[in-house]
Structure 1
Amino acid sequence: MSDVQFHWNRRFSFDPDQKYLVYFRGCFCPCHKNHLAQIEPYYDVPNVNIFISQMGSEHRHGVPARVNRKIWKSYIKHCVPAECRQRIRLEQMQDGAADIKPHLDGIHRVLYVMGNEKEHLMEHGNPGPDQIRRLKKARRKREHHLRQQRERLVRILAKRHIGLDFVIDDRVMKGKVSATQFVAAIRRGATVEELSTFMPDALPLKQRQKIISRLRKCRLH
């Protein structure tokens, strides 16, 4: 049976003798600079592959998965270092956990990366005993929930003797950016300059204009 470990708000320690797969799954409707920032810490780790499993659909904000895929490809092509691009796989989710199977050859551990956006209990300074107890209780509850929700993934990895790590960090926030805000700005007719704040700084202006043009053609809601 594969082992399952949880890592809360701390940098993951990679073993240079093992190969890892970072499993980054989300709706990305539409994907913006904070989504890309979530995988940036893994660019410089050569024994890490990155698997982006896109759950996008038109039901969330009205952005079709094909449009999100084009946006992701543009981000990867223009904003990710060339030596890292070949280690990134972008797939449209078809069968949930089973989609990861083709990407497991030679992999020792899978890192399921997610944002700590539901519990706002990450205390600053010197938390008191009651705060620490509440934090630990909230984490135990979420770990139990994640084990249940990801049971199928755990079974798939166990058959290959691959370990699973949940890396749970505060969402990377470069400015106050969200998909909801991105869509709202497009709907109210924001300028290219204003909308550029939702996209990676390294993205060329021409690519930003293309992305905005595609999004404006969608039936956003």
Structure 2
Amino acid sequence: MLYWKGITGSVIASFVNVMVLRSRQKEDYLFSHSRCPDCGHQLNYLDMLPILGFIIRKGKCHYCGCRIPLRYPLVEITGAYLGIISHSVWEMIMFMDLLAIALYDRDNMIIKDSYLAVLLMCGLFTIDFRYLNNHLLGSVVISLPMYLLARLTEGFGMGDVKLMAVAGGILGWERCLLGFVLRCFAGSVVSIILLTRHKAGLKDRIPFGPFLVLGTVIACSYGFRLIDFYESIWVNGV
């Protein structure tokens, strides 16, 4: 079962990656053939095998010899992992949509409303309505302060605020807080690395969406266990 979930996740993630890349270039991503980005040669089925295609071709285009960007296998491996940790079809769709949000925001510094609409729809099928108040609180506990900061300082984009509202509503307030802490930690680590390697300056904008997505996935999959672990340490420590 895990094997097939991993394969399904990697295949969907491969499509998501192509969709995001072609959306940026305003190309058709449903019916047009995949081609090498360097030489333009049409790829065959072996070239397009998720993960395995990269390994078989030794990371190079079979036709021109140019290196295949690492983004492709990394996204496919991520998709396989997301497929494995999914507990339902709707949760898998939700994770793949979050992957699309992260990739699109990384490329374009924008979080599309259409992706957020899909996320909201998935949330309606995955949340437990017996704890509706918890989910409603989760939708505002972080997004409302973020909205105020976005208005006052422009420290966040409105796409980040809307993503946080939808993700928080899915997670509930406890996991939402945990996820936000994880997002901030991951964002800080990456920012420090970029600054120390001179890949970015203090005034450069860094997309926050990928970190919001990372924290959301971790909180969704492991949130309750992490919270229980923290509480056990706190109680034993006291």
State TM-score, norm by structure 1.
0.24
Name the structure where strand makes up a greater proportion of residues: 1
The structure with higher relative contact order (CA 8 Å, sep 6+) is 1
